[in-house]
Amino acid sequence: MDWEIKSGLPIYTQLLEELKRRIVSGQYQPGEKLLPVRELAQEAKVNPNTMQKALAELERQCLVFAVRTTGRYITEDVVLIEETKKEFAQSHVKEYYKEMCALGYQKEDMIRMLTEYSEEDVK
């Protein structure tokens, strides 16, 4: 899996968002064991301390839990995952709405654009 780290945003924040995205999208399944911190950091090409910080935040949010001596796992709480998915989506919609308003678009314009948008446009 590719990790796309961009300049301009703190790396920790980007790692946290990407890990959340992987959880809510099902790339990481409930109960699945995560790679060790060092391997995840190596995969993402970041410092292990930075990856550790992102994982600690996911633990704080209860999306990940640690079992001493065996590693970290994705929560099995599918309700929490769905709530997080909804929050994640809402934050992206809010950001989209704010950006489009700044460009001078009205809500109706945004709805029309989204309706006309096709899967081909993603590729």
Q: What is the pLDDT of residue 114?
A: 86
Q: Is 67 found in the same domain as 95?
A: no
Task: For residues 80 and 63, give the distance between their C-alpha atoms in angstroms, rounded to a whole number.
Answer: 8
Residues spanned by the domain of 61: 11-76
Residue 25's nearest CA partner among 72, 69, 63 is 63
Q: Write the CA distances from 123 to 37, 57, 101, 117, integer angstroms.
A: 32, 32, 25, 12
CB 90 within 8 A of CB 97: no
6 inside domain: no
Residue 47 CB neighbours (<10 A): 12
Q: Is 108 found in the same domain as 84?
A: yes
pTM comes to: 0.81
Q: Is 85 found in the same domain as 69?
A: no
Write out pLDDT tens, residues 54-67: 999 999 999 999 99
Residue 21's nearest CA partner among 94, 87, 77 is 87
